């Protein structure tokens, strides 16, 4: 009986030691410069760095929940997926860290449930989704789509021409994008800085919205919140018809402009030639338009 007891304790200790031990995995192969690459990792980190080689390089540390890494496809269309055990311990480090180097022009489709996603230098079409992971992108991509539930989104994309960002409770922070930007959050703040936009569509139910950017000649800009403040800092050379609406908040404009219409809830300004259209709305928050 004593032998059985000792054996049981040894088995437990062995399992615990096994669970705590990280495993590494590496892979290197050819990947076309314009390949499609999809990466899926349930928990941990997906970190991607672009380089100027037509090669794919992966270095991974597998968490105790990961069973293996499955790589399938061709040099034109490659898939990387972390396969997890059906059941695993709730203890220990279940996170799997993937560090990939891929051709700069590759199109990326990245899926994480609780994984953070970090991308640097990519120039291809980029799609990233996570539930609770943060997403941090510093890329040269022109088309970007990002979705999270509670994770924050940070996008620095000077070459972006079309970016669509969605979150429920995360914040959205955009720097340097231009062209078309659509950003939605339910309770997070939305901050946009830099770039020259032709179309800007920003919504947050209870978060604040802040914009400090330039606008193309006939830009269409909408910033809407239910209870958050809406604040836009525009260039002094702004040419737009601006509509500022708030049901119970305050309205303020730093521009000297003719007021086309004004009442307790709505104020319409014609600034410059009035070519663009800015609509800034908050139900109970303040609405502010200032010069940069």
Partner 1 sequence: MNPQDLHRVSLEAPPVEGLDSLLRERQPGRDLWAGIEARITPAVAVRRSTPVWPYALAASACLAVFVGVLLRQPSPRPDDVALAQQSSSAFEVATAAEGGSFNNHPYSNGDRPSPTAALSPRTLRMLRSESLDNAPALVAERAEASGLMKATYAAGSGRNSHGQQAILRANLKLVAQAEREVRRALLSDPNSASLQSLLNVAQEKRAVLTSLLVHDPD
Q: Which residues in this chain contact partner 1 in the complex, by CB under 8 A?
A: 1-2, 4-5, 8-9, 11-12, 15, 42-43, 86-91, 94-95, 113-114, 131-134, 149-152, 166, 168-171, 184, 186-188, 203, 205-207, 224-228, 245, 247-248, 265, 279, 281, 283-284
- Residue 121: closest CA among 71, 148, 151, 159: 159
CB of 191 to partner 1, least distance (A): 14
DSSP 188: S
Residue among 152 and 156 whose Cβ is closer to partner 1: 152
**CB closer to partner 1, 84 vs 178:** 84
105 or 207: CB nearest partner 1: 207
Cα of 69 vs its chain's centroid, Å: 25
Minimum distance from residue 285 beta carbon to partner 1 (Å): 9
CB of 163 to partner 1, least distance (A): 17
70 in Cβ contact with 25 (< 8 Å): no
Give CA–CA dist 111/56, Å, rounded. Answer: 18
For residues 170 and 187, the answer to whether their CB atoms sit within 8 Å is no
Residue number with CB closer to partner 1 (179 or 188): 188
Note whether 116 and 134 are within 8 A (CB): yes
Q: Which is nearer to partner 1, 127 or 206 (CB)?
A: 206
Least distance (Å) from partner 1 to the CB of residue 51?
Answer: 28
CB of 136 vs partner 1, minimal distance in Å: 10
**Beta strands 230-234 and 209-225: pairing type?**
parallel
Query: Rounded to an integer, what distance in angstroms lies between the CA atom of residue 258 and that of residue 219?
Result: 20
- Of the pair 144, 223, the CB lying nearest partner 1 is at 223
Which of 51, 62, 3 is closest to 28 using CA atoms? Answer: 51
Q: Where are the alpha helices (DSSP H) in the chain?
A: 2-20
Residue 94: how many CA atoms within 13 Å on its side-chain side? 16
Whats the size of the chain, residue-wise?
A: 292
Find the shortest distance in angstroms from Cβ 65 to partner 1.
8
């Amino acid at each position: 009986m004593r032998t059985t007891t000792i054996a049981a304790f040894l088995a437990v200790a062995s399992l615990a030691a096994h669970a705590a031990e990280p495993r590494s995995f590496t892979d290197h192969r050819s990947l076309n410069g314009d390949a499609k690459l999809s990466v899926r990792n349930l928990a941990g980190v997906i970190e991607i760095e672009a380089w100027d080689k037509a090669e794919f390089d992966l270095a991974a540390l597998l968490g105790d929940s990961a069973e293996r890494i499955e790589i399938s496809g061709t040099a034109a269309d490659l898939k990387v997926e972390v396969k997890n055990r059906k059941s695993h311990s709730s203890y220990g480090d279940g996170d799997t860290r993937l560090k990939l180097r891929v051709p700069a022009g590759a199109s990326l489709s990245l899926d994480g449930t609780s994984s953070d996603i970090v991308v640097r230098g990519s120039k291809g079409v980029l799609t990233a989704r996570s539930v609770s992971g943060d997403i941090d992108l510093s890329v040269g991509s022109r088309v970007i789509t990002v979705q999270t539930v509670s994770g924050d989104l940070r996008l620095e994309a000077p070459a972006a021409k079309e970016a669509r960002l969605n979150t429920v409770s995360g914040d959205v922070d955009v720097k340097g994008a231009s062209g078309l930007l659509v950003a939605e959050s339910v309770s997070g703040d939305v901050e946009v800085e830099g770039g020259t936009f032709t179309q800007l569509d920003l919504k947050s139910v209870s978060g604040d919205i802040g914009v400090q950017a330039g606008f193309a000649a006939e830009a269409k800009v909408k910033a809407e919140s239910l209870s958050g403040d809406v604040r836009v800092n525009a260039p002094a050379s702004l040419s737009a018809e601006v509509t500022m609406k708030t049901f119970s908040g305050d309205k303020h404009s730093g521009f000297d402009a003719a007021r086309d219409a004004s009442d307790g809830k709505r104020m319409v300004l014609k600034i410059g030639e009035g070519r663009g259209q800015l609509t800034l709305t908050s139900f109970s928050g303040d609405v502010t338009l200032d010069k940069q």
